[in-house]
C-alpha cells in the first residue's frame, strides 16, 4: 500500500504587536478602503529587532512540540524555509536546533527561494519520508519571515511577519498529500528581490502580480494534467478546479488570493472542451465568480488579513486559517494549495484533509495566539521600524517564546522559552 505522508500538525508564532491597517492608511493620507477593500487587509504584524526570523521560527517550533506532544527523538530532519536569512552561512535551522535542544542525529538546513522556500522545504521533507529514506522518522519544516518594504512605500501596507511550524510525518492528521501530483513552473524574472546587505525588499509591484499569475497558471495546468490522468478530477459539468473542496493560495495580500482564484478558473475555462461562456468577456466574468471565491477561498484568509504577508509562511497561514475555520467540515475532502516565490517558481499541489484536523487545530490555539497581541499606533510602528537590526529592545520574552537578546562579535544570542 502507498505510504500516507503529509502534515500532521502545525503551530503559529506572530510578533507581539500589530498596527491597524486603517490607522496606517489615514496616516499616509490614503482612503482606508484602498487598504481594506482594495488589498483585503485588516491588521499588519509589526516586529522589533528582538523578534527576528530566528526567534519567530524557534517560538513556532517550540510551540508545535509542546502543543502536540512531539517526540523529538523521532524527528530526523529540520528544514527552515525563509527569505529573511540572518547569515550568509550559518542557517536559521542550526539556531532553532540549538534553542530547542533537538537530538544531534538530525539533518538541518535552510531553504531559500523567496516565498517558495518553505514549500521547497516541505517537498524535501515529504519526499524524504515517502521514499522510505526517513525510516519512519518525521520532519519539522518551519517557514519564517519578516516582510519589509519600508516606510511610505507602495508595498508598506503589505508588510507583516511571523512563522508557521509544520510537523511532517506518516500520520498526516491535517493533510495527506497527493505525493507526485505537483505541478511546477519556473521563470527567471526580477519581480521581487532583496540584494545581499539590504533590509528592505525591492519590488516591481504590478509586474510581480503578473509574474505570480503567469507562473501559477503553468503550475496549476501541470497539476491538473496529472490529476486528470489519475481520475482525481474530470471534465464534466463542473470545472476541475471546482472539484477541489477549497484552494489555498500564497497570500502576499488578501486580494491576491482572489486574483489567483480567478486565474485558476480562467485556465479551466480556456481549456474546457465543451461549450463554455459565449465570448471572451463572458469567460473573464465567469472566472471572477464571487460564488466560487466565497465557497472555495474566502474562509482561508482570516489569519492572513490580520497578520499581513509572511512570505514563506503565508500559504501555511492560509492553510491554518482554513482548517481553523472549517477543519471538521473538510475531513476527507481534497483541497488544493498554490505556492509562489518571486524570481520565480510556483507549485500547485493537493491533499486530503484528515479526520483529526479539527482536533489538531484546536491544540494550536490560534485565537489565543492572535488575541495576546497589542495594537500599536502608527508612531510606535514607525519607531520600531527605525530601530537598527542589531538593537533589540530589552523586553523579557513571554513564557514559551524566544527573543534575540544581543549580537556580540557577529554572534547572535537568544533568550527565552
Ligand atoms: N477603494 C477601494 N479599492 C481601491 C481604492 C479605494 N479607494 N483605491 C484603490 N483601490 C484598489 C485598486 O483598484 C486595486 O485593486 P485591483 O488590483 O483589484 O485593481 C487595489 O486597491 C490596489 O491599488 P493599486 O494597484 O493602485 O495599489 P498600489 O499601486 O499602491 O500597490 C501593490 C499595490 C502593487 C500590491 C503594492 O502594495 C506592492 O508592491 N506590494 C508588494 C508586492 C506584492 O505583494 N506582490 C504580489 C505578487 S509577488 C509575491 O506574491 C511574492 C511576495 O510575497 C512579495
Write the pLDDT tens digit of every residue in 75-100.
999 999 999 999 999 999 999 999 99
For residue 281, the SS3 value is: helix
Mean of per-residue pLDDT scores for the chain: 97
Q: Is the dihedral of CA 201, 204, 205, 210 positive or negative?
A: negative
Q: Say if ligand 1 is within 6 A of residue 154 CB.
A: yes
Question: Rounded to an integer, what distance in angstroms lies between the CA atom of residue 105 and that of residue 108?
Answer: 10
492572535: which residue's cell?
370
- Alpha helices for 44-116 (secondary structure H): 53-68, 92-99
**270 touches ligand 1 (CB under 6 Å):** no
Strands (E), 92-207: 107-111, 138-147, 160-169, 175-177, 183-186, 192-193, 202-203
Q: Ligand 1 within 6 A of 208 CB?
A: yes
Nearest CA to ligand 1 atom 12: 38
345 is catalytic: no
Domain ranges for the chain, please list them. 6-416
Does residue 375 have its Cβ closer than 6 Å to ligand 1? no
Confidence check: pLDDT of 165 > 80: yes
DSSP 240: G
The reply to whether ligand 1 has any atom less than 6 angstroms from the CB of 115 is yes
CA 257, CA 85: separation in Å to the nearest integer? 26
- How confident is residue 1, by pLDDT bands cut at 50, 70 and 90? low
pLDDT confidence of residue 275: 76
- 207 CB within 6 A, ligand 1: no
Is the CB–ligand 1 distance for residue 340 below 6 Å? yes
From the list 43, 51, 115, 347, the catalytic residue is: 115
Q: Which three cell numbers stand for residue 24?
A: 496606517
Q: What percent of the chain has pLDDT over 90?
A: 96
Segment 408-415 shows an average pLDDT of 97
Is 80 exceeded by the pLDDT of residue 274? Answer: no
Tens-digit pLDDT profile for residues 310-344: 999 999 999 999 999 999 999 999 999 999 999 99
Distances (CA, A) of 408 to 71, 383, 391, 405, 411: 33, 23, 11, 10, 5
Helix 357-364 with 53-68: angle, nearest 10 deg: 130
* Nearest-CA residue for atom 16 of ligand 1: 38
Per-residue pLDDT at 276: 80
- Nearest-angstrom CA–CA distance, 35 and 398: 31
Asked if 254 is an active-site residue, the reply is no
Strand partners, 24: none
Please report the pLDDT score of residue 381 as a whole number.
Answer: 98
**Displacement of CA 326 from its chain's centroid (Å):** 18
Q: Tell me the CA distances in angstroms from 284 to 214, 262, 270, 344, one per residue in order.
A: 16, 8, 10, 25
pLDDT tens, position by position, 22-55: 999 999 999 999 999 999 999 999 999 999 999 9
The yes-or-no answer on residue 83 being catalytic is yes
Q: Give residue 224's region: left, alpha or beta (phi > 0; psi -120 to 50).
A: alpha
Task: Please compute the mean of the pLDDT values over residues 258-263 and round it to a whole number.
Answer: 98
- Given ligand 1 and candidates 208, 315, 343, 345, which is best to mutate, with the most ligand atoms within 8 Å of its CB? 208
- Please state the atom number of ligand 1 nearest to the C-alpha of residue 30: 7
E strands, 191-257, are 192-193, 202-203, 246-249
Among protein residues, the one with the nearest Cα to ligand 1's atom 9 is 34
Mapping DSSP to helix (H, G, I), strand (E, B) and coil, where does residue 117 land? Answer: helix
The residue whose C-alpha atom lies closest to atom 15 belonging to ligand 1 is: 38
What does the alpha-carbon distance between residue 390 and residue 220 come to, in Å, rounded to a whole number? 41
CA distance 345 to 61: 26
Give the pTM: 0.98
Residue 189: pLDDT above 60? yes
Q: Is the CB of 252 under 6 A from ligand 1?
A: yes
- Determine which residue's CA is closest to atom 36 belonging to ligand 1: 155
pLDDT of residue 204: 97
Judge whether residue 202 has pLDDT over 70. yes
| Residue tagged active-site, from 43, 83, 156, 347 | 83
Closest atom of ligand 1 to 258 CA is 18
How remote is the CA of residue 254 from the centroid of ligand 1, in Å?
Answer: 10
Options 95, 97, 113, 250, the catalytic residue: 250
Residues 55-64 have pLDDT tens digits of 999 999 999 9
Task: Indicate whether residue 249 lines ligand 1 (CB < 6 A).
Answer: no
Q: How is domain 6-416 classified at the architecture level of CATH?
A: 3-Layer(aba) Sandwich (3.40)
Nearest CA residue ID for atom 31, ligand 1:
154
ipTM for the complex shown: 0.98
Half-sphere exposure of 202 (CA within 13 A, CB side): 10
Atom of ligand 1 nearest to the CA of 201: 54
Write out pLDDT tens, residues 331-385.
999 999 999 999 999 999 999 999 999 999 999 999 999 999 999 999 999 999 9
Kindly list the distances between the CA atom of residue 257 and the CA atoms of 93, 122, 189, 205, in Å, as whole numbers in the listed order: 30, 21, 21, 15
Cα distance between residue 158 and residue 309, in whole Å: 6
Helical ranges in 242-356 per DSSP H: 254-271, 280-287, 290-296, 304-307, 314-326
pLDDT bucket at 3, cuts 50 / 70 / 90 = confident
Amino acid at each position: 500500500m502507498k505510504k500516507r505522508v503529509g502534515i500532521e500538525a502545525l503551530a503559529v508564532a506572530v510578533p507581539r504587536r500589530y498596527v491597524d491597517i486603517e490607522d496606517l492608511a489615514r496616516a499616509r493620507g490614503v482612503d482606508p478602503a484602498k487598504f481594506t477593500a482594495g488589498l483585503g487587509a485588516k491588521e499588519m504584524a509589526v516586529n522589533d529587532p528582538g523578534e527576528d526570523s530566528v526567534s519567530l521560527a524557534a517560538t513556532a517550533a517550540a510551540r508545535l512540540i509542546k502543543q502536540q506532544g512531539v517526540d523529538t527523538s523521532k524527528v530526523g530532519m529540520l528544514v527552515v524555509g525563509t527569505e529573511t536569512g540572518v547569515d550568509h552561512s550559518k542557517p536559521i535551522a542550526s539556531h532553532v536546533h540549538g534553542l530547542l535542544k533537538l537530538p544531534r542525529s538530525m539533518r538541518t538546513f535552510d531553504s531559500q527561494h523567496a516565498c517558495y522556500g518553505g514549500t521547497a522545504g516541505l517537498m524535501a521533507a515529504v519526499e524524504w519520508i515517502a521514499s522510505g529514506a526517513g525510516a519512519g522518522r518525521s520532519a519539522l519544516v518551519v517557514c519564517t519571515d519578516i516582510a519589509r518594504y519600508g516606510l511610505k512605500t507602495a508595498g508598506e501596507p503589505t508588510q507583516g511577519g511571523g512563522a508557521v511550524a509544520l510537523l511532517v510525518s506518516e500520520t498526516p492528521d491535517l493533510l495527506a498529500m497527493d505525493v507526485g501530483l505537483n505541478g511546477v513552473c519556473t521563470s527567471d524574472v526580477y519581480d521581487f528581490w532583496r540584494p545581499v546587505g539590504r533590509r528592505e525588499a525591492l519590488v516591481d509591484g504590478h509586474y510581480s502580480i503578473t509574474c505570480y499569475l503567469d507562473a501559477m497558471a503553468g503550475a496549476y495546468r501541470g497539476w491538473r494534467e496529472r490529476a486528470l490522468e489519475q481520475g482525481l478530477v474530470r471534465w464534466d459539468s463542473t470545472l476541475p478546479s471546482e472539484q477541489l473542496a477549497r484552494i489555498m493560495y500564497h497570500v502576499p495580500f488578501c486580494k491576491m488570493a482572489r486574483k489567483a482564484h480567478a486565474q485558476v478558473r480562467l485556465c479551466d475555462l480556456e481549456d474546457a472542451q465543451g461549450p463554455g461562456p459565449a465570448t471572451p468577456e463572458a469567460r473573464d466574468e465567469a472566472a471572477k465568480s464571487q460564488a466560487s471565491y466565497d465557497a472555495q477561498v474566502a474562509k482561508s484568509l482570516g489569519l492572513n488579513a490580520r497578520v499581513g504577508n509572511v512570505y514563506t509562511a503565508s500559504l501555511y497561514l492560509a492553510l491554518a486559517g482554513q482548517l481553523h475555520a472549517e477543519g471538521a467540515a473538510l475531513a476527507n475532502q481534497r483541497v488544493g494549495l498554490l505556492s509562489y516565490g518571486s524570481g520565480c517558481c510556483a507549485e500547485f499541489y493537493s491533499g486530503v484533509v484528515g479526520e483529526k484536523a479539527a482536533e489538531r487545530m484546536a491544540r494550536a490555539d490560534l485565537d489565543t495566539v492572535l488575541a495576546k497581541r497589542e495594537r500599536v499606533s502608527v508612531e510606535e510602528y514607525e519607531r520600531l521600524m527605525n530601530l537598527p537590526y542589531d538593537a533589540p529592545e530589552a523586553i523579557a520574552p513571554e513564557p514559551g517564546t524566544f527573543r534575540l537578546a544581543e549580537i556580540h562579535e557577529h554572534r547572535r544570542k537568544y533568550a527565552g522559552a
